[in-house]
Amino acid sequence: MSLAERTEASPPTRAASAPTGPGRAKKFGVAATRAAIPAVNGSLYAARTKIQPQAVRGTFRRIKWALLAVTLGIYYAVPFIRWDRGPGEPSQAVLLDLDRGRFHFFSIELWPQDVTYVMGLLILAALILFLMNAVAGRVWCGYLCPQTVWTDLFLGVERLIEGDRRERLKLDAAPWSMEKIALRTMKHATWLLIAWWTGGAWVLYFADAPTLVAQLATFQAPAPAYVAILTLTATTYGLAGHLREQVCTYMCPWPRIQAALTDEHALNILYKTDRGEPRVSAKRTAMLRAAGQPAGDCVDCFACVTACPAGIDIRDGLQMDCIQCGLCVDACDTVMGKLARPAGLIGYDTEANRRSRAAGGGSVSRIVRPRTVLYAVLIAGVASFMLYSLATRAFTGLSVLHDRNPLYVTLSDGATRNGYTVRLSNKRPGERRYALSVAGLPAARVEVVGGLAGDMPVPSDSTQEFRVLVFAAADARPGPSVPLTFRITDLATGATTRAQDTFKAPAP
Ligand code: SF4
Ligand code: SF4
């Protein structure tokens, strides 16, 4: 069953609950939820209603603050971690050196030819995301996505400066005054400062961080650094400060993909309809229960709705807009605590569980199922393959390019000469020396123009091109195209690397 179908299929009996509905939503200053927004004059466009979420306390809020501190801490601090790679080598642990075409990640150094590792990492990331989704729905969206993390940070700043939901709503409605101008200026200035810091940290991944910081401070940094900082300042400020939940709802493709990938056994934050309905006030609950009439635990206080950063009512069922952040759980648990009722009216649950309970059955938990096993196996397979290929990858590169014109030269003594461009890559720190030889052509002679075939130096962490000539004696009489193996031997370690090409000669 798709997310859309489930959203349709699983709404609680809202209409049957007397005190609920738009009027009650208005009483709590909550805009109509998206699902309830009618098409005006047949238009599919609905203007955005600004969401002013209420602060909550609880387990999920604490987890979110902790993850925010860890993820932002990593993002801002990593460029300053040093890593000794020897003289002449960059000493930054994580560095995307675009000038030299190198990606340094601690002791791993990737060259442009190693793009397969980047693809492997992307595949791994996608598989981990699929596994997270199969186990616990949009756990990435709710806790780790940069949009969520920065929006949370911006909301925190807004709350610090302008107050909680009630004060902010009052401020929104108030006419412009010196106080309102001062608060708004302070808020936007702080947002811009964070956004600028975010852009500033990003460029530090592309150059030596302490050097670039000094250059930026003295306005001597390269122009692209300023352009990148300005662009990221603008996007962070716009996305986290203004667009917020709209990025998740309208711009990000993941909710749609996630909805197609999920199933009834994935954990999601859900409202337990069987426990919550019918909704009645706390006062009436005791009365109704004493009279043997049904009364749910939900007191329709709207705390879960006002806490929601997406501005939705989780009691309407699983919705595309829900980023699964858990803040409605904290809000509801606080209410349940005050009413001395058990927590967990809203919490992690599965559709299968919900259906089982509705049918009078017990709890169903199926974290281990074909799709989770498949994702786990694929993750293990891709990760193992990448680790193996990283551990065994060659640190010497050899590529050979035959001259196109002329394909061969017949010399005055009847010998045949072919020309090649040989490119040697030394991916290790420190200069390396190599010896070049060829196989496949009897009595072939190799010459390196301007050098020695037995001693070809390549500086540390670089690529060197050599012009190489191969000669076949007149009496060798090779065919018009003979396969030729080029072999280089590292003079220090004896390790060899090979490449194939051909030797061209006139037809016998
Ligand atoms: S409904 Fe709950 S879990 Fe979903 S976005 Fe809103 S607060 Fe977060
Ligand atoms: S916070 Fe809990 S009790 Fe209050 S409306 Fe939401 S689900 Fe009902």
In the structure, what pLDDT confidence band is assigned to residue 477 with cuts at 50, 70 and 90? confident
Segment of 192-201, 255-264, 422-431 carrying the highest mean pLDDT: 192-201
For ligand 1, say whether the CB of 312 is within 6 Å of any of its atoms: yes
Average pLDDT over residues 352-363: 86
Model pTM above 0.85: no
In this structure, is the dihedral angle defined by the CA atoms of residues 152, 154, 156 and 159, taken in order, positive or negative? negative
In the structure, what pLDDT confidence band is assigned to residue 10 with cuts at 50, 70 and 90? very low
Percent of the chain with pLDDT over 70: 92
Give the integer Cα–Cα distance in Å for 20 and 353: 26
* Contact between 129 and 145 (Cβ < 8 Å): no
For ligand 2, say whether the CB of 300 is within 6 Å of any of its atoms: yes
- Helix ranges (H only) for 393-437 are none
**Residue 190, H or E segment:** helix 178-203
Tens of pLDDT along 107-139?
999 988 888 999 999 999 999 999 999 999 999
**Peptide bond just before 480 cis, omega within 30 deg:** no
pLDDT at 20 over 90: no
Instruction: Give the mean pLDDT of the chain.
Output: 90
- Which residue's CA is the nearest one to ligand 1's atom 1? 314
In sequence order, the 6+-apart residues with CB closer than 8 A to the CB of 503 are: 408, 416, 418, 440, 441, 444, 470, 472, 478, 481, 482, 484
Q: Which residues of 423-452 are buried (b: 16+ CB within 10 A; e: fewer)?
A: bbbbbbeeebebbbebeebeebebebeeee
How many degrees, rounded to 5, is the angle at CA 403 between CA 399 and CA 409?
135
Ligand 2, from 281, 306, 314, 315: best to mutate by most atoms within 8 Å of Cβ? 315
How many degrees, rounded to 5, is the angle at CA 143 between CA 141 and CA 147?
60
- Going from the Cα of 35 to the center of ligand 2, the distance in angstroms, rounded, reads 18
User: What does each C-alpha distance from 51 to 27, 33, 242, 386, 444 come to in angstroms?
Assistant: 16, 11, 10, 44, 78
* Contact between 53 and 327 (Cβ < 8 Å): yes
Give the integer Cα–Cα distance in Å for 496 and 394: 10
Q: What is the dihedral of CA 390, 391, 392, 396, to 10 degrees?
A: 70
Tens of pLDDT along 132-188?
999 999 999 999 999 999 999 999 999 999 999 999 999 999 999 999 999 999 999
Left, alpha or beta for 325 (phi > 0: left; psi -120 to 50: alpha)? alpha
Tens of pLDDT along 183-225?
999 999 999 999 999 999 999 999 999 999 999 999 999 999 9
- Going from the Cα of 413 to the center of ligand 2, the distance in angstroms, rounded, reads 97
Tens of pLDDT along 70-114?
999 999 999 999 999 888 889 999 999 998 889 999 999 998 888
For ligand 2, say whether the CB of 270 is within 6 Å of any of its atoms: no
For ligand 2, say whether the CB of 299 is within 6 Å of any of its atoms: yes
* Contact between 402 and 422 (Cβ < 8 Å): no
Which residue type occupies 210?
Answer: P
What integer pLDDT is reported at residue 479 of this predicted model? 83
Give the integer Cα–Cα distance in Å for 85 and 87: 7
**Residue 486, H or E segment:** strand 481-490
- Which residue's CA is the nearest one to ligand 2's atom 7? 298
- Going from the Cα of 303 to the center of ligand 2, the distance in angstroms, rounded, reads 6
Backbone phi, then psi, for 185, in 5-degree steps? -60, -45
- Going from the Cα of 302 to the center of ligand 2, the distance in angstroms, rounded, reads 6
In the structure, what pLDDT confidence band is assigned to residue 13 with cuts at 50, 70 and 90? very low
- Between the two ends of the chain, the Cα-to-Cα distance in Å is 72
Give the integer Cα–Cα distance in Å for 333 and 353: 20
- Going from the Cα of 5 to the center of ligand 2, the distance in angstroms, rounded, reads 24
Give the CB-side neighbour count of residue 203, counting CA atoms within 13 A.
24
Q: Enter the tokens of residue 227.
A: 């352009």
Nearest residue to 152 via CA among 68, 39, 95: 68
pLDDT at 333 over 50: yes
Average pLDDT over residues 319-339: 96
Using the structure block, give the residue that is written with the tokens 């000038």: 99
Backbone phi, then psi, for 97, in 5-degree steps? -85, 90
